[in-house]
Structures are given as C-alpha cells and as structure tokens.
Copies of this chain bind each other. A is one copy, B any other.
Amino acid sequence: MQSARKTSRSSSLDTLFLSASDITHILACKGLGACLAGMADYIRDDFLRWPDFEKSARTASHSAQGVIELMPVADAHSYSFKYVNGHPGNYRFGLPTVMAFGVLADVATGVPRLVSELTLTTALRTAATSALAARALARPASRSMALIGNGAQSEFQALAFHHLLGIESLRLFDIDTAATAKLMRNLRGQGMEIAACNSATEAVRGADIVTTITADKTRATILTPEMIAAGVHINAVGGDCPGKTELHADILRAASVFVEYEPQTRGEGEIQQMPLSFPVTELWQVLNGSAAGRRYAEEITVFDSVGFALEDYAALRFMRNAAEELGVGQPLDLIPALADPKNLFALLDPATTTAQLKGVRAA
C-alpha cells in the first residue's frame, strides 16, 4: 500500500497540508504575540480591500446539539472556505466546542492549494479581530478588561488585548470556576494582573473593556444595562448564531454598534434582537476612515462579533506564508494529476494499476 500511495502522491497536484501540530509548531517558533499581531495586520489589510471580495452569509446546518457551518469568501485570485462547528455540550465527550479546518484555492483553476487545521487558528483570528476592532473603538487609555466566559478561546482574547492594546489588568468570571482557574494558570507569567471574580457584575466593575465569550446556545443575558459604565467598549464574541445572544437589548439601544458583515450579523449577532432598521456600522468602514469609530469618551461601543469568512481568508494566508517561511507542512494527495486532463479514466488503466500493485507487493 505504502508504495502505491507514494507513487501516486508524486503525481498529485500541489496541495499543502498544515496539520494541527504544524500550526502548533508555527506558533511555538514565531511566538503567540507575534502571530496575533501579524494576523491582525493580515485581517486589517484584507478588510481594507473589502469591496474586492465576493461575500455571503455563511451556510449553517443546525441540530439539537449544535451547528455546522461553511464560510466561503473569494477575491479575484483566491477562494477560501472554513468548516466550523459549535457544539456547547462537546465537553461532555472530551471534545472542543469549536473545531475547524479550511482551504485556500486558486480562483483561476479551482485547485485547492492549502488545507489547514483551523481549530487553533480560529481562536487566534477571532482574538486578533477583536483586538483590531477594539483599537478603533475602545478608549485609547484602556488598560483593564473583564473577561466573561473563560473557555477555550479566553486565553487568546486576553493575550491579543495584552499584546495589541496594552491591557494590563484582567477581571475574570465564568459559571464554571474550574475554567477560570485554568485561565489563570495559563496566563501566569504573561505580565498581567489577574483577578477572579464571583459574578459578571463584579468582573465588569471598573473595566475599560468587557469581553463576553460564553458558549451556551441560548438567549442569555450575561450583561444588563446597569452593569455598563459610560465609555466602556464591549467586545461581544459569544453570541454568534440564531438564538445565541449575550447582551440585554437595552445595552444595544444605548450603544454604537459595529459589525463585521451586516447581512450575516443581522441573523447571528446580538442585533438579531433588534429590528432591521437598527443602525450598525461595518468595521471595514471604520478601519478605512469612511465611518466614525468611537466619537467621544463616554460613548458605549459594542463590537458585535460573529466571525466572518474574510478573517479566515486572512488567517489562512498568514499561516501559509508562515509555513513557507519555516518549511512546515506536507503535500496532500487530494487531487489526482492527469497526463491528459480529459482522461480521468486513465487513473484506472489496468497497466497503471498493475504497476501500482507490483509496487505494493514489493514494499
């Protein structure tokens, strides 16, 4: 078998595979802070090219246990998509809530050039996008952040805000105290002052930025209006599909709300609670200066993040370039190469098959 596979692999098209351990290796080599900063730059660059992209709301397949989504996006040169799930009960089976992988392909030919893990990468790109938005929306002197929801993505949010915004103080809350303890352990030695709090109210008190990143697929009310002081920036990450929200609607009414891609966020974000006439601003317009971000110090700003395909496009570009730089990754025998492209059947040619089988026997 091994020989047959090797023989054919050398004649397969050039698809690079980045495994979960390849991505871990890239992060270890380059450092997490540098990767978060680099990825934020890639995301900003692609958001600044917003009109170049063919965009659509992701397609979602909902079940009682969770959701599986496909997130495609393309410009004139590259097409990307991400497969991602969201299953809040997965911890019961020892599985992550969110798992993902993605593909970069050539628009001109349709050849898939890269297949990459995105479980770890999604945590980075979500955090990098949050920090990118907060740089435009939070008060410049912000130094403290409340972090409500201390699950798998919380370390990445904490470190993105530390490295990209200079957040020095964290106030943590999760209904699962073990999750908070885990987050504190993981952030030890990262140069932040960290306090575990007994309630969301306590965590939010005095924080410049409030990040909500809880997993339950319900209409939760993690934050209520009386908890939110003037001038706070809310980074609302957890509410990201129909029926899954974290903020009381009155917070949205009192705030300026920023989104990634309005047609998708209307159905999935916190603003699914609001009428379609509720005004929002797309982040790319703030980044390119065509729309205002924060207008005054007392303004309450909300980044209603749901995760948009363009962030994965940017993340895949970042990882592909990092992999090339470091020589990481393996070829994947995904698409057969053909001597005559109209002769797919030649793959089954008895002569070829016999040669392959001889290779197998010899191995």
Q: List chain A positions with a Cβ less than 8 A from chain B.
A: 1, 4-5, 7-9, 12-13, 17, 19-22, 24-25, 27-28, 32, 54, 56, 59, 61, 63, 65-66, 68, 70, 72, 74, 76, 79, 81, 83, 85-87, 90-91, 93-97, 99, 101, 103, 105, 107-112, 115, 117, 119-120, 123, 150-153, 155-156, 176, 178-179, 182, 186, 327-328, 330, 332-336, 338, 340-349, 353, 356-357
Contact = CB atoms under 8 A, between A and B. Distances in A.
B333 A24 contact: no
A50 to B, nearest CB: 17
Number of copies of this chain in the oligomer? 2
B81 A70 contact: yes
Contact of A74 (B12, B24, B68): B68
Contacts of A111: 85, 95, 99
Contact of A21 (B7, B28, B54, B101): B7
Contacts of A110: 66, 68, 85-87, 90, 99
B107 A342 contact: no
- The prevalent SS among residues of A at the interface is mixed
A109 B123 contact: no
Nearest to A327: B1
B65 A59 contact: no
22 contacts: A1-B25, A5-B19, A5-B21, A5-B25, A8-B19, A13-B95, A21-B336, A24-B336, A28-B348, A28-B357, A65-B107, A68-B79, A68-B110, A70-B70, A94-B341, A101-B335, A120-B344, A152-B338, A152-B343, A176-B342, A186-B343, A186-B345
Contacts of A335: 20, 96, 99, 101, 117, 119
Contacts of A56: 59
B338 A96 contact: yes
Interface centre among A19, A20, A105, A155 (most CB of B within 10 A): A20
Given A59-B72, A96-B335, 14 more contacts: A1-B327, A7-B21, A8-B20, A25-B356, A61-B72, A65-B107, A65-B109, A83-B103, A87-B109, A90-B341, A96-B344, A117-B336, A123-B344, A186-B349
Ordered nearest first, which 6 A-B pairs have the shortest CB separation? A85-B110, A8-B21, A19-B333, A20-B336, A155-B345, A152-B344
Contacts of A109: 65-66, 85, 87, 90, 93, 95
Contact of A1 (B9, B32, B105, B328): B328
Given A108-B63, A111-B99, A356-B25, A182 B117 contact: no
A330 B105 CA distance: 23
A20 B333 contact: yes
A332 B28 CA distance: 21
A338 B94 contact: yes
Nearest to A153: B344
A12 B19 contact: yes
Contacts of A156: 344-345
Contacts of A90: 109-110, 341
B59 A70 contact: yes
Nearest to A71: B70
A327 B107 CA distance: 35
